[in-house]
Structure 1
Amino acid sequence: MFLLLSLYVCGLLLRGDAQDQAALWRGNDRSGRCQYTFTVPSPVESSCPQTGGPEMEDLKARLNLLEVLVYQVTGKDTERPRVGVARAQADLQDALNRAVGERNLLQEEKERLERELGALQRRMDEMRRETERLRNKPCPPQTPMVPPSPPLQNSGVVRPAGGSSPMSPLVNRPNRQGDSRNLRDSEWQYGRPGYQELKAAVTEIPAPVGSDENIGCGELISVANPVTHRKADNIAGKYGVWMQDPEAVSPYGPDMVWRIDTIGTEVRQLFGYEDMEQLSKGFPSKVLLLPELMESTGATMYRGSLYYQRRRSRTLIRYDLSSESIAARRDLPHAGFHGQYPYSWGGYTDIDLSVDEQGLWAVYSTSKAKGAIVISQLDPHSLAVKKSWETNIRKTSVANSFIICGRLYTLSSYSAANATINYMYDTATSQGKAIAVPFKNQYLYTCMVDYNLPQRKLFAWDNYHLVSYDLKLGRTQAN
């Protein structure tokens, strides 16, 4: 580069007319590099052409065209992101508004639940204070025992089998409020009642007619009109099951009543009440959460365990109440489930468990039985099938069923006001027959009927209502 510059300078210097006017400078530029600058006047032009000549105009036109192209290309592209950003901001604002609204709704729901919880806690505190007050209240003094007069000796006193002391038939009857607990309380168990207590009982409840027919395990003769104990609080209680344990195990007593609402797909809450009175008031003393979801209204209670069908399966579960854990599980062989062989009202009632004087039972059907009712007696510990019977009545043709003394009884309708118990199958003789025992559906939608062994009654769930029925059984035929 320096050589070319030197040759060019020499060429210019050779020209005599410009030799005395040429100039050469050397210096560092802004970046610090050495730069040579050479100037020489034009031998032809006296002045430089104007900057606004044709070349500059052409350059300006090209620059304007370039600016237009740049605007067309980049202007639209930059405008689109602005519109996208605006839309994104609007969407984010809408999402924020929705989140705030949902948060407010959740906050209101939380406050409502807190108020309900507070009210329930206050009610529980009142119950505890009332219980403590009753416990501390002194017992009334016992009056001297008055010997019964001769007419009283023949006024319905029944001598129990295997015993020597007479027993009033009133001890197995319900009271006026519909409380069907056994009237033999702790005082009556450990001593003979005073005259005033017996007189009060006689005044409160008239002596039943033919009550001796309820003793033993004869065939079902009649079912009384229902007695309502409680109405469910909300839609979750339209269908359900309630029961008592005939052989209760600590820490729960024999008067404990259990309830399960079976509406919805997440059926797992088990409510416990100390007695029938607390059930009617709606004051549960225990709430358990089942580890496996439950299906249908076919659950039952026996020997300190809840027996029920796991959702969407033929698996039976034994849930131990004391340890609050699953103690056993087993599939019921070939049993239909989840709507294959339900009762006529539906409810996925394919498997119905119950307890009577002879133990634990399952009522269901199989494809081999072609939909006919199958009765199986189960081992309460392992849930294994001990023995089975196949009837000749279709399960989907009856509204419900229950077992008393090893006999299966079926209900004709769940919605007719005046239904009948229309069929009986005796597992002792493996024989079935048609019967006609009147049965009243008080609230026109009975989804559960079971025999309650502790009170020797029928428990039913009829369209939000928990009801019970007194029974009359025939005398057991002597062998």
Structure 2
Amino acid sequence: MFLLLSLCLCGLLLRGDAQDRAALWRGNDRSGRCQYTFTVPSPIEASCPQTGGPEMEGLKARLSMLEVLVSRLTGGDAGVPQRPGAGAQSELQEALNRAVGERNLLQGEKGRLERELEGLQRRMEEMRRETERLRNRPCPPQTPLVPPAPSLQSGGLMRPGGGSSQMSHLMTRPNRQGDSSSLRDSAWQYGSPGFQELKAEVTEVPAPDGSEDNTGCGELVSVGEPVTHRKADNIEGKYGVWMQDPEAVSPYGPSMVWRIDTIGADVRKLFGYEDMEQLSKGFPSKVLLLPDQVESTGATVYRGSLYYQRRRSRTLIRYDLASETIAARRELPHAGFHGQYPYSWGGYTDIDLAVDEQGLWAVYSTNKAKGAIVISQLDPHSLEVKRSWETNIRKKSVANSFMLCGKLYTVASYTSPETVINYMYDTETSQGKTVSIPFRNKYRYNSMIDYNLAQRKLFAWDNFHMVSYDIRLGRQQAN
């Protein structure tokens, strides 16, 4: 009896110890159903070869997934430690960069507005001074038969035609061909430009009966805003010349437009367009290959011929467009060439050919003239010099020039968007004077300016762009 009681007590003790170490396992079986397993360590077997089970592996996998999910929800990246505040610092740096960029843009805009304001203030001041001059000075008489007012004569701005004036320093000497042509020029005086502006203002007022005829010749009063017709297609067209023939000869009509791109090692292509519309579209109807290379932007067309300077020489060429052959060739006596006396923008613009109401002209300089502009009127058939004038303005000091009604006009700057036509020389009176006619370089690199007699406009080549300007002339003053 005592033995049986002892066995029962041992069994209860072993059972209680086993209960303390009992375990419940849960896992899916092979069919996917949930299965619970209750295990109790054997009182005889102290250990089992298998230290884990499938339930433990599944629990570890679920725990790992839970850790990844918690890390993502809290904004971190599992397994990659991050430096505290790195995201905020990156955002602050990006915001600072944006602020600096906006500040630079605002500073640039502020500078542009300040420059525009200064320009407007200068123009307002000029207009104010002009208004005061108009109020304080009497208008000159409009009747040609009435002599000029004594006050204007005494000012030295209107000189008598005779050679006895003490203010005149004109001189006569033989020209390059040996005749006694007049090579005279008045001093290029920086006198009162106010009278010149006043004179321009008065001459552009229409007659009371509205019968003003602006088709004749007179002094240039104003130049309009540039109108763009075409932009060149490649680098060869950064500089160039374009023109029309005012006295076109068959087979080409008066609306034909000619163009030469002047950048390249072999400048010889002459493009012809039927009219301005075809030029704007870029569809040439004729392409000619010239026999000699062209030097710079000084070419022109007149009476069915192209006139241009042969490269690296002072030789002028007349190329007949109908027969496509050279009709005349002649050296311009003593003329500088290939960079000796160019305009201020360079480009080997030593000889500039031009056409106006009085025919064919050459604008250049010589060693004898010491860089001053020389104007020569040429025979359009033989290219011989008919008569020459020497001015007192340096060719290298001006950006460009053009002939209009027998008068030479020079432009002050080729890059400034708002510049002026600053000098005029009249070959009829052999006198020059300073002027101030506003002129705009829209694209800020003007390499060619010529008067187009066919349309009575100025043609220019401004930094790849072919542009034109309307002009206005004053009345022709009676002598």
Bin the TM-score by the shorter chain.
0.5 to 0.7
Q: Is the 8 A contact 1:213 1:472 kept in 2?
A: no
| Equivalent residues of 1:243, 1:452 under 8 A apart | yes
TM-score, normalised relative to structure 2? 0.56
Counterparts of 1:264 and 1:341, CA distance in 2: 21
Q: Does the 8 Å contact 1:421/1:438 carry over to 2?
A: yes
Counting only pairs closer than 5 Å after superposition, residues 64-103 of structure 1 correspond to structure 2 as none
Q: Distance in 2 between matches of 1:245 and 1:401?
A: 19
Q: Which amino acid aligns with 2:299?
A: A
Q: Does 1:217 align with 2:217?
A: yes
2:379 alignment partner in structure 1 = 379
> Secondary structure in 2 aligned to 1:280?
helix
**Aligned residue number for residue 321 of structure 2:** 321
Task: Kindly provide the CA deviation profile for residues 404-423 of structure 1, in whole angstroms up to 9, marking residues without a partner as x.
Answer: 00000000000000010000
What amino acid is aligned across from residue 263 of structure 1 in structure 2? I
Distance (whole Å) between structure 2 residues aligned to residue 302 and residue 346 of structure 1:
26
Q: Please give the secondary structure, in 2, of the residue aligned with 1:214.
A: coil
Alignment of 1:459 onto 2:459: yes
Query: Residues 304-344 of structure 1: CA distance to partner in whole angstroms, max 9, x if unpaired?
Result: 00000000000000000000010000000000000000000
Mark the runs of 5 or more structure 2 residues left unpaired by the alignment: 1-203
Matched, 1:228 2:235: no
Shift of 1:265: 2.1
Deviation, 1:264, is 1.3
Q: Secondary structure at the match of 1:277?
A: helix
Give the CA RMSD over aligned residues. 1.4
Q: How does 1:54-73 map to 2 (within 5 A)?
A: none
Tell me how far apart the structure 2 counterparts of residues 298 and 376 of structure 1 sit (CA, whole Å): 14
CA distance in 2, matches of 1:298, 1:287: 19
Which structure is richer in relative contact order (CA contacts within 8 A, separation 6 or more)? Answer: 2
Query: Is the Cα–Cα contact under 8 Å of residues 213 and 474 in structure 1 kept in the other structure?
Result: no
Match of 2:22 in 1: none
Query: Matched residues in 1 for 2:272 and 2:288: separation?
Result: 8
- Answer yes or no: is 1:310 the counterpart of 2:274: no
Q: Is the 8 A contact 1:231 1:465 kept in 2?
A: yes
Structure-1 separation of matches of 2:297 and 2:213: 30
Distance in 1, matches of 2:364 and 2:213, equals 31
Alpha-carbon shift at residue 450 of structure 1 (Å): 0.0
Alignment-mate amino acid for residue 261 of structure 1: D
Structure 2 partner of 1:299: 299
| Residue 357 (1) aligns with residue 357 (2) | yes
Secondary structure at the counterpart of residue 277 of structure 2: helix
Question: Over residues 77-111 of structure 1, what are the superposed CA-to-partner deviations in whole Å (9 max), with x where a residue is unaligned?
Answer: xxxxxxxxxxxxxxxxxxxxxxxxxxxxxxxxxxx
1:403 — aligned with what?
403
Q: Within 5 Å, which residues of 2 pair with 1:137-148?
A: none
Task: Determine if contact 1:215/1:475 at 8 Å carries over to the other structure.
Answer: no
Shift of 1:477: 1.9
- Aligned to 1:475, the other structure's residue is in SS state coil
Q: Tell me the equivalent position of 2:252.
A: 252
Q: CA deviation at 1:216?
A: 1.0
CA gap 1:236/1:369 in 2 versus in 1, 3 angstroms:
same
Aligned to 1:346: 346
Alignment-derived partner of residue 436 in structure 1: 436
**Secondary structure of the residue that 2:476 maps to in structure 1?**
coil
Following the alignment from structure 2 to structure 1, what is the Cα–Cα distance between the partners of residues 409 and 319? 27
C-alpha separation in 2, matches of 1:436 and 1:268 = 37
Pair 1:242-2:224 in alignment: no
- What letter matches 1:442 in structure 2? K
Counterpart position of 1:289: 289
Per-residue deviation, 1:478: 3.5
The answer on 1:266 being equivalent to 2:231 is no
Task: Compute the displacement of 1:215 (Å).
Answer: 2.3
Query: Is 2:361 the counterpart of 1:388?
Result: no
Preserved CA contact (<8 Å) 1:354 1:360: yes
What does 1:26-65 align with in structure 2 at a 5 Å threshold? none
Contact 1:300 1:354 in 2 (8 A): yes
Cα distance, 1:209 vs. partner? 9.8
The equivalent of 1:450 in structure 2 is 450
Tell me what 1:108 maps to.
none
2:463 is aligned with what amino acid? N
Separation (CA, whole Å) in 2 of partners of 1:426 and 1:213? 21
Identity of aligned residues (%): 80
- Which position in structure 2 is the counterpart of 1:87? none
Give the secondary structure class of the aligned counterpart of 1:370.
Answer: coil
Q: Distance in 2 between matches of 1:291 and 1:414?
A: 31
**What's the offset of the Cα at 1:469?**
0.1
One-letter amino acid of the structure 2 residue matched with residue 412 of structure 1: A
Superposed CA deviations along residues 118-171 of structure 1, whole A, max 9, x for unmatched, are xxxxxxxxxxxxxxxxxxxxxxxxxxxxxxxxxxxxxxxxxxxxxxxxxxxxxx
Per-residue CA deviation, residues 349-396 of structure 1 (Å, 9 max, x unaligned), is 000000000000000000000000000000000000000000000000
In structure 2, relative to structure 1, the CA distance for the partners of 1:464 and 1:384 (3 Å cut) is same
Equivalent residue, structure 2, for 1:417: 417
1:88 corresponds to which residue?
none
Structure 2: distance between partners of 1:275 and 1:456: 16
Is the 1:213–1:473 contact (alpha carbons within 8 Å) kept by the matching residues of 2? no
Aligned residues: 272
> Any idea what SS the aligned residue of 2:330 has?
strand
* Structure 1: distance between partners of 2:467 and 2:444: 12
1:409 touches 1:424 (CA, 8 Å); kept in 2? Answer: yes
Residues in 1 aligned to 2:451 and 2:369: alpha-carbon distance in whole angstroms: 25
Q: Provide the C-alpha distance between the structure 1 equivalents of 2:269 and 2:359, rounded to a whole number of angstroms.
A: 25
Distance 2:436 2:423 in 1: 8
Structure having the higher helix fraction is 1
* Maintained 8 Å contact 1:214/1:471: no
Tell me the TM-score normalized by structure 1: 0.56
- The C-alpha deviation readout for 1:272-310, integer Å capped at 9, x for no partner, is 000000000000000000000110100000000000000
